[in-house]
Structure 1
């Protein structure tokens, strides 16, 4: 850090790495807080809100071109209250102004730049803007605000009304849930978009959509649908083979800019990797495919090596950009290889490595840089070189170890070291799924340590959760996605640890959500708590994207918890939510795949499997390593339990397995194979 900075603004008081990146801009940035918002009202000034995040490439470009420029800063400081927002810390603000931008321009993205009235109602927005255009548009809008304020106010009023309307759910009187014949038709129509050769959709860029794949994996499994199975397998294989997966250090980048999953946008996000650990673990359970297992193992290694804090929380992301040898910040510089460099490092093994990872026209990116990508069966390569598949694997593993050692000497990408509750929940769920299906005890240990961190550091005094943790402090109250992800992860942790405390935490947090986030009309939950100061809208987040929506995760949580705690009537609330959502799901299933997955679970038979007695642990392990998306587990060796599913079921000197459906149980059995027969 330089000894003296020419400029320092109020962001220097913040802990977010993204906000701190802007603390020495000549722009008089403020963080989003009550004092700043009040100042805008007192001075009757327009607010300029600029939203981004630490791993956002174009955010850095705009900072360099505009916000570091003194001429730009002069314009911004003279007329506006300038607020910088880290969208990862404050998704509540981002939701609203991203909706506004999409209404104004038809598209969105970051950096997200919005101008609002002093009360926060938006009237103009754009993403990346060049310096000259930026100064020009700011001056024009300021002039209009002085000379014809009614024009701007009128537009802002319409916009505020529109923002409320596009986020409303029409509660239909139809109380029917989605039926299996409707689900089959939805999947059939959806499959027209599938790229069956390279996976994903028939387009670029390609985003990994774990929620879509989980929904389709379950559908293929329950319907014995080989066509859908093949599509899921193709997608997961191509993603794991692609440049989007870091073959040297593990972990996935955010998305691929091409159709073959080759060249990624190189930032690595905790949420992607947490969700993908779950997905590949599920797929391994369903198929026993070793590629899926090794993808899980390498991705967890990446989380441990690069994102795990000493407090056992996980950091948010690694930047796409890093410094080259010449000190220039370039996207992907840390990850790419040149042919001559590979030859020098790998020596005699280069020829095999070259073929395996396509150091040829298929793997070439730009400027003599290669992004490692697989495109063929390892067995064919082994046979061509007269070695066994096992020997090939050993050679490739040795090569990757050498490359990792070499890569560690490069300048590393910048780290966003804030810890977010929701994303830790997704990583924790990934770890519980990985332990369940791969049976590596280290994953359970990691999961328990992370869960303990959430309890100790992210819990608020009122029984709720905080959003963030940095420098030993939490400063933002939790949003719905924080609760939803943690509740889901704790349910998963109960199922692999059999410790009631995680299930009890899940129920307690769910009751907190019901008390403070409920929209009484639809049964859905607002993104922000009733305890927090109001923005211009309380958002209902329902669309599933790369991350499933907070409401769909909560609906899955209600579904499972209603089986564990039937007397709490959570199923009544769930049914209200699902009928409210029915038309939204059926009209746009691609953007509601986590909801569609839940509709499948609610339409099919759903089982509670209970193992009770001294020998419950090995029995549960045998049962749970099967892919059983329509089963929840409860287990204990205690003679008495407060958990409804375990009450009055203990029999001395026996370990019994009860298979139940809606609380109605078949005769208990003692062998896991017989229990599996009862649900097939």
Structure 2
């Protein structure tokens, strides 16, 4: 019997009518496998995953395939976004077995959950044949499978944290410099990003490289980051018609995306483009920020102020069949009908030519020249072309809205909401538009009201008024980071105290003193086959690297030496073993926090928020900012407020210069020492 109709996950509900007797991942399903001595099929995917849909249609909707699965296996469907802990453990197993990973992720395990076989997408015949063979082997020679599972289990446990055996006590800044030089060899100097396809955006990579280039006066590095951000903004990865980024591009030029739009990508990219705008004042970056946030508010915001998870890659085409990218692509005849006499000029801007052609006469809009260049070629003012482009996009938007929209994954995930919250805060810093701060505060209230329990724990998910899954480390670290960001723009100490409360909860329920890292799952949760410690930065930074950065900042605000020690020890354990810099960019960013260039600034006085806004609108990545408009008990601000004065305290490593009243002098020092 298929039990997925009892779930709230849109991905699980998509499979609720399959003839496969799917169950959700829960103690009851796992107990049933043990009691009946049955192998388990664990099939992991997510609602916006194109190849997950393909395998569902080919295999899981097929009655013959379902008969094979139902006869001998306990079949468990997992939404990787709801259960990233389960996904992480079995992804490790598949990577050991096959050398690669991805989704859908399909694993066969012993009744106790230890994996014996797995892979990603399988064609129907290969899938059923393998399942038959595994079942026969388990009946005839179970000891062989158990022996293999034992060895594989040891391998999974071994892919953990590589402890640094050296006895360093200081962060080696020269090591970071050498890693940057190694990294530069992978740069694509034509289209930006790394010189390979597919291309993932990896926002934290460019956040760090921009900071490093700025602090080290490396103009070449800054040029590379600007090249990357410009080419990504040119499309088709970026939806110029309605804003928002797709998950990755399948080619080198950021052209044809895998069309799903994920909340976590867009939250991080708003933060990245906001920082880049502060540094460059590039109007293209401002356009990206504004369009993306309009898209998020329109398509991904729920009535309670929370953010939905994703839009699917697939939508119904003109023949009423699900097709990847159908909502977004254009054919020449329809473009000519919409744009009319401006079509030739439109074609130059958006490459209705071999450069913009995808497949089956479909075009994905992409720029490869500046509007200034095209205006000059056509002897027209730039402002005229800018207005035309804006009007074209409105026409296309109105036409596209008549199409069948991609499916919405309408669950809310705490970690992703916090990432988007911080995106709104960073956009407010860069553009000083108060509606962005209002949206951020609304989302923060959504999190504290619906996703933070009276027992002190966060939940991971929310849908239809209820939360069902205890929070993971990723939920805590990103909520803490978002609350710190809110403090930086409001100076409302509530957000720091909330961040501290969640940090102390994390130290109690996630921190492993022997490993010096935080486990991904709480010690209150039922244990999986191995403990997962997330340390490598990926498309989303590792929860441990984010938590280490949080601890560093909070150690300053609360004068807490233990927080600093934990953060410092985590970094010392990771940094010397880094070989692949792209996977440790957030750790290296933390390394810069521990450098001599990092500063702390306290602004105390009635005008504190005015000066706060000025500081936040500038790109000064190497300061920890605090302030108050009244007497404060926050340790970093204690005894620093003097009535009717606005004083600036510039500090480094908890040692402060005498208070200063000259704001410009403070700025000059900060910029000079950046």
The Cα shift of 1:583 comes to: 2.5
CA distance in 2, matches of 1:27, 1:293: 48
Q: Which range moved further: 449-458 or 293-302? A: 293-302
CA distance in 1, matches of 2:431, 2:188: 29
CA distance in 2, matches of 1:499, 1:353: 48
User: In the alignment, is residue 413 of structure 1 matched against residue 423 of structure 2?
Assistant: no
Map Cα deviations across residues 42-93 of structure 1 (whole Å, 9 max, x no partner). 0010011000000000100110111111111111011000000000000000
CA distance in 2, matches of 1:662, 1:126: 49
Map Cα deviations across residues 273-330 of structure 1 (whole Å, 9 max, x no partner). 0010011111111111111111111111111011000111100000001001210111
User: In the alignment, is residue 172 of structure 1 matched against residue 148 of structure 2?
Assistant: no
User: In the alignment, is residue 595 of structure 1 matched against residue 587 of structure 2?
Assistant: yes
Cα contact 2:164–2:576 (8 A) shared by 1: no
Which of 631, 642, 657 aligns to 1:651? It is 642
Q: Indicate the residue corresponding to 1:316 in structure 2.
A: 309
Q: Indicate the residue corresponding to 2:443 in structure 1.
A: 450
Q: Indicate the residue corresponding to 2:661 in structure 1.
A: 670
Q: Indicate the residue corresponding to 2:628 in structure 1.
A: 636
User: In the alignment, is residue 109 of structure 1 matched against residue 65 of structure 2?
Assistant: no
CA distance in 2, matches of 1:653, 1:166: 58
TM-score by length of 2: 0.98
Q: Indicate the residue corresponding to 2:327 in structure 1.
A: 334
Unmatched segments (≥5 aa) in structure 2: none
Q: Indicate the residue corresponding to 1:182 in structure 2.
A: 175
Secondary structure, counterpart of 1:315 in structure 2: coil
User: In the alignment, is residue 608 of structure 1 matched against residue 591 of structure 2?
Assistant: no
Note the 1:192-231 alignment, pairs <5 A. 192-231=185-224
Cα contact 1:355–1:381 (8 A) shared by 2: yes
Map Cα deviations across residues 578-633 of structure 1 (whole Å, 9 max, x no partner). 12112333x22221111111112212332111111111121111122111111111
Secondary structure, counterpart of 1:530 in structure 2: coil
CA distance in 1, matches of 2:643, 2:576: 51
User: In the alignment, is residue 22 of structure 1 matched against residue 30 of structure 2?
Assistant: no
CA distance in 1, matches of 2:411, 2:454: 21
Cα contact 1:425–1:489 (8 A) shared by 2: yes
User: In the alignment, is residue 433 of structure 1 matched against residue 443 of structure 2?
Assistant: no
Which of 77, 102, 105 aligns to 1:84? It is 77
Which of 252, 261, 264 aligns to 1:259? It is 252
Q: Which range moved further: 425-434 or 164-173? A: 164-173
Q: Indicate the residue corresponding to 1:624 in structure 2.
A: 616
Which of 516, 520, 525 aligns to 1:523? It is 516
Q: Indicate the residue corresponding to 1:510 in structure 2.
A: 503
The Cα shift of 1:110 comes to: 0.8
Cα contact 2:575–2:588 (8 A) shared by 1: no
Q: Indicate the residue corresponding to 1:4 in structure 2.
A: none
Cα contact 1:622–1:672 (8 A) shared by 2: no
The Cα shift of 1:171 comes to: 4.0
Secondary structure, counterpart of 1:648 in structure 2: coil
Q: Indicate the residue corresponding to 2:489 in structure 1.
A: 496
User: In the alignment, is residue 100 of structure 1 matched against residue 93 of structure 2?
Assistant: yes
CA distance in 1, matches of 2:132, 2:482: 49
CA distance in 2, matches of 1:393, 1:168: 51
Cα contact 2:632–2:641 (8 A) shared by 1: no
Q: Which range moved further: 78-87 or 653-662? A: 653-662
Q: Which range moved further: 170-179 or 90-99? A: 170-179
The Cα shift of 1:370 comes to: 0.7
Note the 1:241-260 alignment, pairs <5 A. 241-260=234-253
CA distance in 2, matches of 1:243, 1:341: 18
Cα contact 1:49–1:114 (8 A) shared by 2: yes
CA distance in 1, matches of 2:161, 2:645: 54
CA distance in 1, matches of 2:277, 2:596: 23
User: In the alignment, is residue 380 of structure 1 matched against residue 373 of structure 2?
Assistant: yes
Secondary structure, counterpart of 2:648 in structure 1: strand
CA distance in 2, matches of 1:577, 1:201: 28
Q: Indicate the residue corresponding to 1:163 in structure 2.
A: 156
Secondary structure, counterpart of 2:47 in structure 1: coil
The Cα shift of 1:211 comes to: 0.9
User: In the alignment, is residue 50 of structure 1 matched against residue 43 of structure 2?
Assistant: yes
Which of 262, 278, 285 aligns to 1:269? It is 262
Secondary structure, counterpart of 2:323 in structure 1: strand
Cα contact 1:522–1:580 (8 A) shared by 2: no
Q: Which range moved further: 483-492 or 341-350? A: 341-350
CA distance in 2, matches of 1:394, 1:582: 49
The Cα shift of 1:239 comes to: 0.4
CA distance in 2, matches of 1:465, 1:355: 50
TM-score by length of 1: 0.97
> Aligned-residue CA RMSD in angstroms?
1.1
Secondary structure, counterpart of 1:668 in structure 2: coil
Note the 1:272-287 alignment, pairs <5 A. 272-287=265-280
Matched length: 671
Q: Which range moved further: 300-309 or 565-574? A: 565-574
Runs of 4+ in 1 over 3 A off after TM superposition: none
CA distance in 2, matches of 1:573, 1:15: 38
Secondary structure, counterpart of 1:603 in structure 2: coil
Secondary structure, counterpart of 2:315 in structure 1: strand
The Cα shift of 1:118 comes to: 0.4
Cα contact 2:414–2:447 (8 A) shared by 1: yes
Cα contact 2:592–2:598 (8 A) shared by 1: no
CA distance in 2, matches of 1:496, 1:652: 22
CA distance in 1, matches of 2:612, 2:163: 43
Cα contact 1:285–1:627 (8 A) shared by 2: yes
CA distance in 2, matches of 1:177, 1:71: 62
Q: Indicate the residue corresponding to 1:5 in structure 2.
A: none
Cα contact 1:522–1:577 (8 A) shared by 2: no
Cα contact 2:40–2:74 (8 A) shared by 1: yes
Cα contact 2:554–2:560 (8 A) shared by 1: no
Cα contact 1:659–1:678 (8 A) shared by 2: no
Unmatched segments (≥5 aa) in structure 1: 1-7
